[in-house]
Amino acid sequence: MQWLDARLPLPRLMYDSFVAYPVPRNLNYAYTFGGILALFLGVQILTGIVLAMHYAANSAIAFDSVEKIMRDVNWGWMLRYMHANGASFFFIAVYVHIFRGLYYGSYKAPREILWILGVIIFLLMMATAFMGYVLPWGQMSFWGATVITGFFTAFPLIGDSIQQLLLGGFAVDNATLNRFFSLHYLLPFMIAGVVILHVWALHVAGQTNPTGVEVKSSKDTVPFTPHATIKDGFAMVVFLILFAYMIFYLPNYLGHADNYIEANPLKTPSHIVPEWYFLPFYAMLRAITFNIGPIDSKLGGVLVMFGSIIVLFFVPWLDTSRIRSTAFRPMYKIFFWILVADCIFLGWLGSKPAEGIYPALALAGTIYYFGHFLIVLPVLGLVETPRRLPGSITEAVLAKNGGGGAPVGAAAAPDTKG
Amino acid sequence: MSVHDTAEPNRRDFLYIATGAVGAVGAVSLAWPFIDQMNPDAATLALAEIDVDVSQVAEGQSITAKWRGKPVFIRQRTAREVEEAKAVDLGSLKDPIARNANLPSDADATDVNRAAEGKEQWLVMIGVCTHLGCIPLGQSGPYDGWFCPCHGSAYDTAGRIRQGPAPTNMAIPPFEFTSDTNIRIG
Ligand code: HEM
Ligand code: FES
């Protein structure tokens, strides 16, 4: 080890980052989803590489090759179900992780770059999952690809050429499938690269914690190992149990029956919906059914949908509050939970057909979504009176445990629920 | 940036800039093949012509042909459908342009301009919703024409957009009747 360390200090880097690294002593389970995300990136890459050994990216045989994985390949059914449900669990984890960040103000100075890298990872994940879903070449694969690449035709003048560039033809076809497979293989490794930058930025700024008060002395922290390792490990095990339940008992619950019908370019299924993790964005896309000045309804919908993610990049500068953690912001706390409810509501609307009252409700939900980021965040920070912040992390932990006297060393349990 | 800290740009500055510029041009021209390979190749682009026999298509019936990977709806409309389409006031249309590749690009979206030349009961159009590309269902929706299940766009009996998020009328491809029973598309 010392021999290696003197030449390439990799063991030291690992030791400093994942063993000795000081973490705030009051982290709760919302903070374990970062580790879970890393685990699931690993799961997707591992299962993906073995699926790629049996999958054929050719529109004539792609569907059959996936059926062969399901029926013939040893353990193929399990590997494919792990990969397909793994994508869903990956998104569950990323949504918890993002809302955790919004709740505890993790995006505020000095962590803006850390937050922006996170949003980039989220975008790459969406692109990867979308292209992966095209690979089994079922009806939903085909029509999802048609609709989503259709977004680009919304841009005036250059739109059609961009779409043809992406598809390699006038409609989704073999050329499209091949390039999507190539990119679906590539992007997860790009995600892994950005994850490294993300963790690096994290280790420069340090973790936030449920009080939002910065670490002030070594009494406020505990070493990563064993404290965070064990806690993250326990959360992973619980999450993996849920994952296993889905794989073995409800493997197709999150999928669509239509995707077990081979792609037919001449027939659109009567109700096409994307995977659940895209539904809120899909609802926003469909909410714009009218022209806004020179912007027609189609371009409007596409801009709103992309805008809903772009706005996340600006959150560090939209929030004017000096207080980091929502725990000490009584009014913002209410708006935060309304936002969560609004996103779930939009997701539900996205799964409904675009008829009757649904588009109007989706419009209301969309307006609220943007209102939260563009109005509530800047204004509330100026008018709200926050609660008194604790002097330090240690003070907050001791107050909670009703103690004050007993000195609590680094060996004390860090998981006082915060 | 130059080695000599003079205010006047000297010959060396010029050489740096010239070298950088040539390098940038080289990098861009090398990037082009890597981007252009994604575009449709010549075989895909070749405007395939197809002939469709429509002798079996009676009034009120439609068939779907496949052209350039896309469906083309060929419908012999009923007299009532034609009447309905003619009765529409052009001012009430969301898209007032014919979108007919056989006519000038500013032609009005009248029923005559949408239908086959001299055979108004025949409608030949690319059956792709102009919103995001789904295939609308025939003879359904509030305007008796086509209805797109994807995001709820409704087209009338002349394939004109009337309601929903789609921006334009469905496109009419270049085509002609080569005889009374044969249509050549492309
Ligand atoms: C960020 C990580 C990844 C995500 C979110 C993801 C997502 C997906 C999704 C949603 C599907 C469709 C599953 C279905 O309904 O059948 C899929 C299929 C597929 N993916 Fe991935 N994937 C990831 C990484 C990878 C990697 C690294 C590889 C290869 C090295 C890979 C190879 C494949 C293959 C071959 C298929 C087609 C077989 C099938 O449909 O099960 N994936 N992926
Ligand atoms: S694709 Fe037809 S309404 Fe969206």
SS (H, E, C) B98-126: CCECCCCCCCECCHHHHCECCECCEEEEE
Question: Which residues lie across from A24 on neighbouring strands?
Answer: A221
Q: Which of B94, B134, B162, B169 to mutate to test the pocket of ligand 2 (most atoms within 8 A of CB)?
A: B134
Is the pLDDT at A404 greater than 60? The verdict is: no
Q: What is the pLDDT of residue B3?
A: 55
Task: Identify the nearest ligand to the CA of A147 by its number.
Answer: 2
Q: How far is A141 from chain B (nearest CA, A)?
A: 13
Cβ < 6 Å from ligand 1: which residues? A 41, 44-45, 48-49, 51-52, 55, 66, 80, 83-84, 87, 90, 125, 128-129, 132-133, 135-136, 184-185, 188, 191, 255
Is the pLDDT at A194 greater than 50? The verdict is: yes
Q: What is the pLDDT of residue A416?
A: 40
pLDDT mean over A296-311:
91
Least confident among A99-108, A399-408, B4-13: A399-408
Residue pair A175/A183 in contact by the 8 Å Cβ criterion: no
Residue pair A247/A78 in contact by the 8 Å Cβ criterion: yes
Q: Scanning every residue of chain B, which has its alpha carbon at the shortest distance from the alpha carbon of A299? A: B167
* Residue-averaged pLDDT of chain B: 88
* Interchain contact A173–B (C-beta under 8 A): yes
CA of A133 to the centre of ligand 1 (A): 7
Least confident among A271-280, A376-385, A400-409, B166-175: A400-409
CA of A352 to the centre of ligand 2 (A): 14
Q: What is the pLDDT of residue A270?
A: 80
- Atom 37, ligand 1: residue with shortest CA distance: A135
**Full set of structural domains in chain B with CATH:** 46-185 (2.102.10.10)
Banded pLDDT at B16 (limits 50, 70, 90): very high
In tens, the pLDDT along A50-89 reads: 999 999 999 999 999 999 999 999 999 999 999 999 999 9
Of B66, B133, B152, the CB nearest to A355: B152
Q: What is the pLDDT of residue B4?
A: 56
In tens, the pLDDT along B32-55 reads: 999 999 998 888 777 678 899 999
* Interchain contact B69–A (C-beta under 8 A): yes
CB contact under 8 Å between B40 and A265, yes or no, is no
Banded pLDDT at B90 (limits 50, 70, 90): confident
* Residue-averaged pLDDT of chain A: 91
- In chain A, residues with a C-beta closer than 8 Å to the C-beta of B151 are 285-286, 354
Of A143, A165, A359, the CB nearest to B134: A143
List the single best residue of A142, A284, A297 to mutate versus B (max B Cβ within 10 A). A297
Cβ < 6 Å from ligand 2: which residues? B 129, 131-134, 148, 150-153, 164-166
Residues of B acting as catalytic residues: 151
List the single best residue of B34, B105, B147, B151 to mutate versus A (max A Cβ within 10 A). B151
Banded pLDDT at B5 (limits 50, 70, 90): low
* Interchain contact B71–A (C-beta under 8 A): yes
Q: Scanning every residue of chain A, which has its alpha carbon at the shortest distance from the alpha carbon of B132? A: A150
CB contact under 8 Å between A266 and B69, yes or no, is no
* Interchain contact A273–B (C-beta under 8 A): no
Banded pLDDT at B8 (limits 50, 70, 90): confident
Task: Identify the nearest ligand to the CA of B167 by its number.
Answer: 2
- Atom 1, ligand 2: residue with shortest CA distance: B132
Q: What is the pLDDT of residue A418?
A: 37
- In chain A, residues with a C-beta closer than 8 Å to the C-beta of B136 are 268
Is the pLDDT at A179 greater than 90? The verdict is: yes
- Atom 3, ligand 1: residue with shortest CA distance: A44
* Interchain contact B20–A (C-beta under 8 A): no
In tens, the pLDDT along B128-163 reads: 999 888 999 988 888 889 998 888 889 999 999 998
Q: How far is B68 from chain A (nearest CA, A)?
A: 7
Q: Which atom of ligand 2 is nearest to the CA of A354?
A: 3
Q: What is the pLDDT of residue A267?
A: 87
Report the predicted TM-score, pTM, of the whole model to 2 decimal places: 0.88
CB contact under 8 Å between B131 and A298, yes or no, is yes
Between residues B166 and A101, the one the model is more confident about: A101
For tokens 């063993």, what's the residue?
A: A19
Query: May I ask the CATH class of domain A21-400?
Result: mainly alpha
List the single best residue of A139, A166, A170 to mutate versus B (max B Cβ within 10 A). A170
Give the percent of chain A with pLDDT over 90: 76
- In chain A, residues with a C-beta closer than 8 Å to the C-beta of B167 are 296-299
Q: What is the pLDDT of residue A295?
A: 82
- In chain B, residues with a C-beta closer than 8 Å to the C-beta of A285 are 151
Q: What is the pLDDT of residue A413?
A: 42
Give the percent of chain B with pLDDT over 70: 96
Is the pLDDT at A399 greater than 60? The verdict is: yes
Of A148, A168, A301, the CB nearest to B165: A301
CA of A178 to the centre of ligand 2 (A): 25
Q: What is the pLDDT of residue A24?
A: 94
Q: What is the pLDDT of residue A402?
A: 63
* Interchain contact B80–A (C-beta under 8 A): no
Is the pLDDT at A403 greater than 70? The verdict is: no
Banded pLDDT at A103 (limits 50, 70, 90): very high
